[in-house]
Structure 1
């Protein structure tokens, strides 16, 4: 439709000028209509914001290989009106995320995917601090827009900090999801964690193939949410 309108504008410009009959006002009105249509298309596209750490950012990979970009490809292939924004930041903790969340929410967000906590667990941050920070992030999102749908990505860590800490850390995510009535990805790294063929040399960050599996894990929850 837009291309047809552009053609009509160009045709009218050529035709009327060759006949010596200016149609400047008409051209301006048609160009304004094109601009309005473009703005309308943009406003009709919802934003899916991925807020996380190096897993979301795709550390060690091309940004187009990170799972949010893979999700965008999936959305585009289905013709769904959503734009993915990757707000992943390598090294991000829940405390740092809490401090930058207001800035990230300067735009309207339809779906907010919260993927933080792994760095807290690996650093042995007190569990209540991690829980409190995640809760505050959820609160901030809802204060900004109560209609934003929230998805929380569950995380697990190796037993380096002891079995009790590891178990309680894993429970933070389903407990917060139930308390806040948000959607939960049980374990973001399901079928990837611990597999050397799907992780880079550090054994922590997924390869491009691993990121595709992360995208699959996310889509199992996100897909139904944006199809509602």
Structure 2
């Protein structure tokens, strides 16, 4: 009888150790916060056809456990994102923050130094809260002048290098030069463009949600 009890105890200990190992190996679903402007907020699109919604579908298709919080607002600037980010981080506690901002600063001709300072503050805040950051870059049209457009574009590379953060250099790569991929306002990509946008973002995004 005593031998049987010893064997049962060993079985229970083994089962508990196995459960403990499984629990430690389990990776809780990550929360991904997307902080962007109209390019991420499905402006002019049917719900579910923007790149963020497509990203959510792709994660499910690839069986990657992650929750997407799309906090993008049409017309958002880097200063608006900077102001909103602290509360968003407190509320959602994201593991990954995707920052897709700057386009509206550039279109309004705002100083690049101000936009860079806002982006830097956002990256700092995300990092201090143990979130990884993906920067999504933008280009300005050539009519803004060579000096401004180059300074604006290089802003994202500078931040990526400084923080060793992954960067999508130009989210509209393969879209910007295709008029058929834009809505009637010629500013916002149509639904056909958003799978291309996702294809630009996915290679830099995937390692962040796959990392343990």
- Normalised by the length of structure 1, the TM-score is 0.78
Once superposed, which parts of structure 1, at least 4 consecutive aligned residues long, lie more than 3 Å away?
Answer: none
Q: Does 1:172 align with 2:158?
A: no
Q: Following the alignment from structure 1 to structure 2, what is the Cα–Cα distance between the partners of residues 193 and 45? A: 34
Q: Does 1:86 align with 2:81?
A: no
Aligned positions of 1:16-31 closer than 5 A = none
Q: Following the alignment from structure 1 to structure 2, what is the Cα–Cα distance between the partners of residues 227 and 94? A: 28
Deviates more, 1:156-165 or 1:167-176: 156-165
Q: What is the DSSP-based 3-state SS (H/G/I as helix, E as strand, rest coil) of the residue aligned with 2:156?
A: helix
Cα offset, 1:179, TM superposition: 0.4
Q: Residues 98 and 133 of structure 2 are in contact (CA less than 8 Å); yes or no, is this contact kept in structure 1? A: yes
Q: Following the alignment from structure 2 to structure 1, what is the Cα–Cα distance between the partners of residues 87 and 48? A: 24
Q: Does 1:70 align with 2:50?
A: no
Q: Residues 194 and 203 of structure 1 are in contact (CA less than 8 Å); yes or no, is this contact kept in structure 2? A: no
Aligned positions of 1:37-186 closer than 5 A = 44-105=28-89, 106-143=91-128, 145-146=129-130, 148-186=131-169
Residue 40 of structure 1 is matched in structure 2 by none
Cα offset, 1:225, TM superposition: 2.4
Cα offset, 1:44, TM superposition: 2.2
Q: Following the alignment from structure 1 to structure 2, what is the Cα–Cα distance between the partners of residues 104 and 160? A: 35
Q: Residues 57 and 63 of structure 1 are in contact (CA less than 8 Å); yes or no, is this contact kept in structure 2? A: no
Cα offset, 1:53, TM superposition: 0.3
When Rg is computed on C-alpha atoms for both structures, the one with the higher figure is 1
- Normalised by the length of structure 2, the TM-score is 0.84
**Any stretches of 5+ residues in structure 2 without a counterpart?**
1-26
Cα offset, 1:63, TM superposition: 2.8
**Any stretches of 5+ residues in structure 1 without a counterpart?**
1-42
Q: What is the DSSP-based 3-state SS (H/G/I as helix, E as strand, rest coil) of the residue aligned with 2:83?
A: helix
Q: Following the alignment from structure 1 to structure 2, what is the Cα–Cα distance between the partners of residues 198 and 162? A: 24
Q: Following the alignment from structure 1 to structure 2, what is the Cα–Cα distance between the partners of residues 129 and 190? A: 25
Q: Residues 118 and 157 of structure 1 are in contact (CA less than 8 Å); yes or no, is this contact kept in structure 2? A: yes
Pick the structure with more helix per residue: 1
Q: Does 1:190 align with 2:173?
A: yes
Q: Following the alignment from structure 1 to structure 2, what is the Cα–Cα distance between the partners of residues 149 and 47? A: 11
Q: Following the alignment from structure 2 to structure 1, what is the Cα–Cα distance between the partners of residues 49 and 71? A: 15
